[in-house]
Amino acid sequence: MQTIREFATALRRRPGVEAVIVSGRDGLLIEGTAGDALDLQDLAARVPSFVSEAVGLGEASRLGDFVTGILEHDQGYAIVSSIGNDALLTVLTTKSVDLGSLLFDVRSQRSSIGSLV
């Protein structure tokens, strides 16, 4: 069985992936890997507010529970996915990433990642 660190490292090696962060829903960093310029703890702390709003939108719109959110920025994407009841996976990418393939992998591995937390 793969560890969280091994999963994050493998995902970070994909072309276009700049950072992989596994955090608690409270914003505390569990595991992460990124270039030196990024503060993983700061990034992890910012994710819960986005998720909170996404949960509220799902409730108000009757679309159901939050599963995955994608934010597009000028320089790339931020993908945030719920991995179990207590953790979140955030993947930061460049614009050149194969977004479809990455989303497929995140979706297909979400439950196994959640069991590691």
Q: What is the pTM of this model?
A: 0.92
Q: End-to-end CA distance of the chain, in Å?
A: 13
pLDDT digits (tens, 9 = 90+) for 26-85: 999 999 999 888 999 999 999 999 999 999 999 999 999 999 999 999 999 999 999 988
**β-pair type (17-24, 29-34):** antiparallel
Instruction: List the structure tokens of 43.
Output: 């990034």
d(CA 41, CA 27): 8
d(CA 43, CA 46): 5
Domain parsing of the chain, residue ranges: 4-116
Task: Give the CATH number of domain 4-116.
Answer: 3.30.450.30
